C-alpha cells in the first residue's frame, strides 16, 4: 500500500464520516418528529401543532442535505465500506510490518557495528603479528650480517698472519691491513 492510496482512503473516510453524521442528524430529526406526533396524538394543543411544523421543516432540511450528498446506503456504499475496512486492516498490518522492519534494521546496525569491531581487532592482531615477524626477520638478518662480518674478519686475520709470516708486504701495508681489520671489529661491536 503506497502513500497515495492511504491519502485517498483518508479522504474517503472523511467523506463517509461527514455523510454518516448527516444520516445521524436525519435519524435524530425523524425520532423527534415521531415523539412529537405521539405526544400530539395524546393531547393536541396549538403550540404542539406549531412545533410539529418546525419539526417537519427540520426533517425536510436534513433529508435535503442527505440527498445533496448523493450518498445512500446502497450496495455500492456497502462495497466501499468493505473496501475501507480492508484498507484499514492492510494499513495496520503495514504499520506492524514497518515497526518490525525498524527493529530488524536496528538489530542489523548493531550486528554490523559488532562485526566492524571484530574486524578492527583482527586487523590489530594481524599487524602485531606482522610487526613481530618483521622484528624477528630483522634480528635474523642482523645475526646473519654479524656472522658474515665475523667470517670476513677471520678470513682477513688469517691473510694478515699469512702476509706477516711471509713478509711479502711492507710494515706500512701490514699496518693498513691491521687497521682495516680493527675497523671491521669495531663495526661488529656496534651491530
Distance CA 174, CA 182 (A): 12
**121 in the same domain as 148:** no
**70 in the same domain as 19:** yes
**161 in the same domain as 99:** no
Structure confidence at residue 177 as a pLDDT band (50, 70, 90): confident
**120 in the same domain as 132:** no
**139 in the same domain as 171:** yes
**121 in the same domain as 104:** yes
- How much is the pLDDT for 62? 74
Q: Which whole number is the average pLDDT over 64-86?
A: 69
Q: What is the extent of the structural domain holding 177?
A: 127-190
Please state whether 5 falls in left (phi above 0), alpha (psi between -120 and 50) or beta. Answer: alpha
Last residue of a domain, one of 100, 125, 150: 125
Which cell numbers in the block locate residue 181?
681489520
**186 in the same domain as 105:** no
Q: What is the pLDDT of residues 77-95, one digit of tens each?
A: 677 777 778 877 877 777 7
- How much is the pLDDT for 128? 87
Residue 44 has pLDDT above 60, yes or no: no
Last residue of a domain, one of 109, 125, 141: 125
**111 in the same domain as 27:** yes
Please write down the long-range contacts of 6-11, taking CB distance under 8 Å and 24 or more positions apart.
Answer: 6/87, 6/91, 9/84, 9/87, 9/88, 9/91
Q: Which whole number is the average pLDDT over 136-163?
A: 86
Alpha helices in 43-74 (DSSP H): 46-68
The reported pTM is: 0.34
Nearest to 33 by CA among 63, 3, 12, 7: 63
Last residue of a domain, one of 89, 108, 125: 125
**106 in the same domain as 64:** yes
**112 in the same domain as 134:** no
More confident residue, 139 or 62: 139
Counting the structural domains of the chain, the total is 2
Amino acid at each position: 500500500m503506497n502513500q497515495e492510496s492511504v491519502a485517498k482512503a483518508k479522504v474517503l473516510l472523511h467523506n463517509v464520516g461527514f455523510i454518516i453524521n448527516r444520516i445521524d442528524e436525519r435519524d435524530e430529526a425523524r425520532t423527534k418528529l415521531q415523539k412529537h406526533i405521539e405526544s400530539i396524538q395524546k393531547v393536541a394543543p396549538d403550540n404542539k401543532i406549531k412545533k410539529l411544523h418546525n419539526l417537519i421543516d427540520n426533517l425536510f432540511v436534513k433529508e435535503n442535505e442527505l440527498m445533496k450528498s448523493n450518498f445512500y446506503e446502497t450496495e455500492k456504499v456497502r462495497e466501499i465500506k468493505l473496501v475501507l475496512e480492508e484498507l484499514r486492516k492492510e494499513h495496520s498490518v503495514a504499520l506492524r510490518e514497518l515497526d518490525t522492519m525498524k527493529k530488524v534494521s536496528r538489530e542489523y546496525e548493531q550486528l554490523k557495528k559488532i562485526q566492524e569491531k571484530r574486524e578492527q581487532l583482527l586487523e590489530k592482531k594481524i599487524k602485531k603479528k606482522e610487526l613481530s615477524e618483521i622484528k624477528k626477520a630483522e634480528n635474523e638478518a642482523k645475526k646473519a650480517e654479524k656472522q658474515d662480518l665475523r667470517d670476513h674478519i677471520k678470513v682477513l686475520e688469517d691473510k694478515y698472519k699469512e702476509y706477516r709470516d711471509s713478509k711479502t708486504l711492507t710494515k706500512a701495508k701490514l699496518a693498513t691491513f691491521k687497521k682495516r681489520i680493527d675497523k671491521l671489529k669495531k663495526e661488529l661491536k656496534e651491530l
